Structure 1
Amino acid sequence: MVSLLSRQGYAETSLVDVLATADAPRGSIYHYFRGGKDELVSAAITLTLDAALENLEGMRGLELPEFLARFAASWRGILERTECTGACAIMAVSVGADKPELKALAAKAFAEWEDRLADILHSAGIDAEDRARDVARYLLSAYEGAVLLGRAQHSLAVFDGVDEIIRSSVAAR
C-alpha cells in the first residue's frame, strides 16, 4: 500500500491494486482490514512514519553536516528506488485524501516527524530549540518539494540542485 500511494496517490490507489500487488485473495483484505481502503491507508501512514522515525534515529549523534548529507540521501533514495515515479506516501494522503480523518492522521504524522527531526537537529548542533523546530519544518517541506519536483521533471538532477541549496542554507545559519 505504501508503494502504491507513493506512486499513484490516494485517489488512484484502489483495493484491486492492493490485491494485485500483494497477490492476495480479496477476502484477506476484508478479514484483516475491516475498514477497507481507509484502514489500509491509515496503516500505510503509520508504517511510513515508523520507517522515517527509525531512519532519523539511525542518524542521531551525527554532526550537522553529516546528518544533512544522510537526511538528503534518504529523500533522494525515494526517487532512485522508484526511477523518479514515487513520492512520500504521507504527502500523497495529505494532498489526495478526501476524508478528514485521513488528512488529520497525515497531519499528526507530519507533526510527530517534525518533533523528532527538531530534537535530532538540536542534538546535532542547532542550539536553540525553536530554531531547530524551524529548521525541521524547513527540511521536511523543502525535501518533500524537491522530491515532487524531481518526480514531475523525472530528474535526479532537479532534486540534487534543490538539495545543494537546502544544505548550504541550513549550514550557513
Structure 2
Amino acid sequence: MNLSRIAGAAALGAAAILTLAGCIQLPSPQAPTTTTPTTTEPGTTTPTTSEPVETPSNALVDTQWSGTATGPESSIDVTFTFQEDGTLYITAWSGQDDTPYDDPTDTWSLDGDTLELTLSNIQEIQRIDLTGTYTGSSPIQMTGTDGVGGTGYTMTLTQG
C-alpha cells in the first residue's frame, strides 16, 4: 500500500471524527448540590429537612364527634365520624334504631378553618347546613339554616 494513501485515509478519518464531534454536545458539568445544616444549639447541628404537615382536614378524618342541632323547626342529636371521602358516617341520630348508616348526602368539607356540614334527609326541613370555625380542637360552634329557608340553627360539636 502506498504511504500517501494511508496518510490520506487517516486524514479523512480524522476529518470525519472532528465533523461528528461538532454535532454531539456533551452535557455541561453541574455543580454538586449540598444541604446546609442548621444549628439548633451551640455545638449541635441537624440537617435541614421538610416533613409533611398534617392539614386540619386530615386531622378530622376518622374522628368521632357529637352534638345537638337545635333550631326553630327541629332538634336533632347526632353522633358521626368524619370520613375521608367527605361524607359523615352517622352512628346515632336522635335515638333512631336504623343507625349506623352512611348516606352520601350527609357531607362535610373544610376550607381553611371553615368547616361546613350538611345533615340531610330530614322529613319536614329536608336538611340542615351548618358552618363553623375549626381551630384544631373541640368544641366547634356552628350555625346554620335548614333546607326550606329557616334560619337560627346552632350546634356545638364535641369530639369523642
Higher strand share: 2
TM-score tier by shorter-chain length is under 0.3
TM-score normalised by length of structure 2: 0.26
TM-score normalised by length of structure 1: 0.25
Instruction: Give the number of the structure whose alpha-carbon radius of gyration is greater.
Output: 2
Q: Which has the higher contact order (CA 8 A, sep 6+)?
A: 1
Higher helix share: 1
